[in-house]
């Protein structure tokens, strides 16, 4: 059954989250000026930037409302504050965007048309292409793959012609760099979970929509181009920390207990070198095993000097002691890659 709600979207609000990303945000705002939709407004939610983002955005885009959060609240709560503001201003739906993207002019219309034609719609996501390789898809929705105990982006490395359909199709989660969420969906499932701070908040949101009986969709005609990981400076140790910790939190909330335990085991094993040399199937003498074990110990201690492994160790530890939210400042220092 199609969505029965007769919604005009008289007020659709685009929300762009910024934290010291002035250059990317200005480029994104430039692309938003070309959006083809009869009635929308733009909010930039600024998470306490120190790079004069707020002043510059207000000067160059006076019609854009800048909501100053005053501190780095993370992706979830930074957006939540803007969503609350938009709903208080009678927005019918919100579109959440990363600041490190540019958008197709048809983005809003594609989301609008999809929402009004789909059965029981929950959260809608865009088809995200690589900014530096604009005909290649980074992600167009995704699902949890129990065989590898990891998330699986749909369309990764493929062209638009290789997607499951030209029309909107069901996904377990929509990728967080461009999300369409109607106010009625928010009233059913609430806002994003601030505990995640960064990473997995959209996956959690989408799973909550599914548990509420809604269907999440990827909309191929809603296109964006993403500077993948620009907000983290690539897959940094800080990115690894949030991914490690938040995967464990997400899996606890949304996977069967046995599968969650398997995720924990896999995550812990990834921190340590292989112990394959201990297997009696390995063609090694006892002396060779002894020396191999010595090398293993050396590698383990060596990893305590590697910011990526430090990130994993602390991510696991903070999950078990229920330490969520923003990465502590003292740990951020440890996670800085060596110059």
Q: Strands, E, within 159-261: which ranges? A: 169-171, 178-182, 215-226
* Tally of domains within the chain: 2
Q: How far apart are CA 141 and CA 169, in angstroms?
A: 9
Question: Are 108 and 245 found together in one domain?
Answer: no
Q: Which tops the pLDDT comparison, 44 or 235? A: 44
Whether the CB-CB separation of 100 and 93 falls below 8 Å is answered with no
Phi and psi at residue 292, in whole multiples of 5°? -65, -40
Question: pLDDT tier at 72 (50, 70, 90 boundaries)?
Answer: very high
Residue 185 has pLDDT above 60, yes or no: yes
Question: What confidence score (pLDDT) does residue 261 get?
Answer: 97
Average pLDDT of the residues in 23-37: 95
Q: Within 13 A of 18's CA, how many CA atoms are on the CB side? A: 30
> For the segment 255-292, what is each residue's pLDDT rounded down to a tens digit?
999 999 999 999 998 887 666 655 556 676 777 766 67
Taken in order 132, 135, 138, 139, the sign of the CA dihedral is positive
Q: How far apart are CA 325 and CA 314, in angstroms?
A: 13
Question: Are 219 and 277 found together in one domain?
Answer: no
Question: What confidence score (pLDDT) does residue 287 get?
Answer: 73
pTM for the complete prediction? Answer: 0.89
Of the three residues 166, 197, 232, the one that is the final residue of a domain is 232
Whether the CB-CB separation of 25 and 128 falls below 8 Å is answered with no
Question: What confidence score (pLDDT) does residue 4 get?
Answer: 45
Whether residue 292 lies inside any domain: the answer is yes
High-pLDDT (> 70) share of the chain, %: 88
Whether residue 1 lies inside any domain: the answer is no
Whether residue 137 lies inside any domain: the answer is yes
Q: What is the DSSP letter of 138?
A: E
Question: Are 224 and 102 found together in one domain?
Answer: yes
Whether residue 5 lies inside any domain: the answer is no
**CATH number of the domain bearing residue 101:** 3.90.550.60
Range of the domain at 310: 237-334
Question: Are 160 and 272 found together in one domain?
Answer: no
Question: Are 228 and 241 found together in one domain?
Answer: no
Taken in order 112, 117, 123, 125, the sign of the CA dihedral is negative
Residue-by-residue DSSP string for 245-289? HHHHHHHHHHS-HHHHHHHHHHHHHTTS---GGGSTTS---HHHH
Question: Are 288 and 166 found together in one domain?
Answer: no
Question: What confidence score (pLDDT) does residue 230 get?
Answer: 47
Average pLDDT of the residues in 94-102: 97
227 closest CA partner among 103, 115, 73, 322: 103
Residue 83 has pLDDT above 50, yes or no: yes
Q: Which tops the pLDDT comparison, 72 or 231? A: 72
How far separated are the first and last CA of the chain, in Å rounded? 57
Of the three residues 195, 215, 232, the one that is the final residue of a domain is 232
Question: Are 148 and 244 found together in one domain?
Answer: no
Whether the CB-CB separation of 114 and 219 falls below 8 Å is answered with yes
Question: pLDDT tier at 336 (50, 70, 90 boundaries)?
Answer: confident
Question: pLDDT tier at 215 (50, 70, 90 boundaries)?
Answer: very high
Whether residue 314 lies inside any domain: the answer is yes
Q: Which tops the pLDDT comparison, 50 or 301? A: 50
What is the dihedral angle through the alpha carbons of 242, 247, 250, 256, rounded to the nearest 10 degrees?
-170
Question: Are 117 and 189 found together in one domain?
Answer: yes
Calculate the average pLDDT of the chain.
90
Whether residue 50 lies inside any domain: the answer is yes
Average pLDDT of the residues in 118-135: 95
Residue 156 has pLDDT above 50, yes or no: yes
Question: pLDDT tier at 233 (50, 70, 90 boundaries)?
Answer: very low
Q: How far apart are CA 156 and CA 138, in angstroms?
A: 5
For the record, the structure tokens of 338 come out as: 């060596």
The region of weakest confidence among 68-77, 94-103, 122-131, 283-292 is 283-292
Question: Are 264 and 324 found together in one domain?
Answer: yes
Question: Are 96 and 172 found together in one domain?
Answer: yes
For the record, the structure tokens of 200 come out as: 């997995």
Q: Within 13 A of 209's CA, how many CA atoms are on the CB side? A: 29
């Amino acid at each position: 059954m199609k969505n029965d709600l007769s919604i005009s979207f008289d007020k659709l609000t685009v929300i762009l989250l910024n934290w010291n990303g002035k250059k990317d945000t200005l480029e994104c705002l430039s692309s938003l000026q070309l959006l083809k939709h009869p009635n929308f407004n733009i909010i930039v939610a600024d998470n306490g930037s120190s790079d004069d983002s707020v002043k510059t955005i207000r000067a160059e885009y006076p019609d854009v409302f800048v909501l100053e959060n005053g501190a780095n609240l993370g992706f979830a709560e930074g957006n939540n504050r803007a969503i609350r503001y938009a709903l208080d201003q009678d927005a019918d739906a919100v579109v959440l965007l990363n600041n490190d993207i540019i958008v197709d002019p048809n983005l809003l219309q594609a989301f609008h048309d999809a929402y009004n034609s789909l059965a029981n719609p929950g959260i809608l996501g865009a088809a995200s292409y690589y900014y530096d390789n604009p005909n290649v898809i980074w992600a167009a929705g995704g699902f949890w793959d129990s065989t590898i105990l990891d998330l699986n982006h749909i369309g990764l490395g493929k062209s638009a012609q290789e997607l499951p359909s030209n029309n909107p199709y069901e996904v377990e989660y929509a990728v967080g760099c461009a999300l369409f969420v109607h106010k009625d969906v928010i009233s059913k499932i609430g806002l994003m979970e601030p505990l995640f701070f960064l990473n997995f908040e959209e996956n959690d949101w989408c799973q909550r929509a599914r548990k509420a009986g809604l269907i999440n969709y990827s909309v191929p005609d809603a296109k964006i181009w993403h500077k993948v990981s620009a907000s983290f400076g690539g897959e940094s140790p800080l990115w690894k920390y949030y991914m490690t910790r938040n995967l464990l939190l997400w899996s606890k909330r949304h996977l069967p207990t046995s599968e969650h335990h398997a995720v924990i085991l896999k995550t812990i094993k990834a921190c340590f070198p292989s112990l394959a040399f201990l297997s009696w199937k390995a063609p090694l003498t006892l002396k060779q095993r002894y020396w191999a074990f010595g090398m293993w110990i050396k590698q383990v201690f060596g990893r305590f000097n590697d910011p990526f492994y430090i990130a994993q160790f602390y991510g696991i530890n903070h999950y078990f002691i229920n330490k969520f939210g923003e990465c502590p400042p003292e740990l951020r220092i440890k996670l800085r890659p060596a110059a």
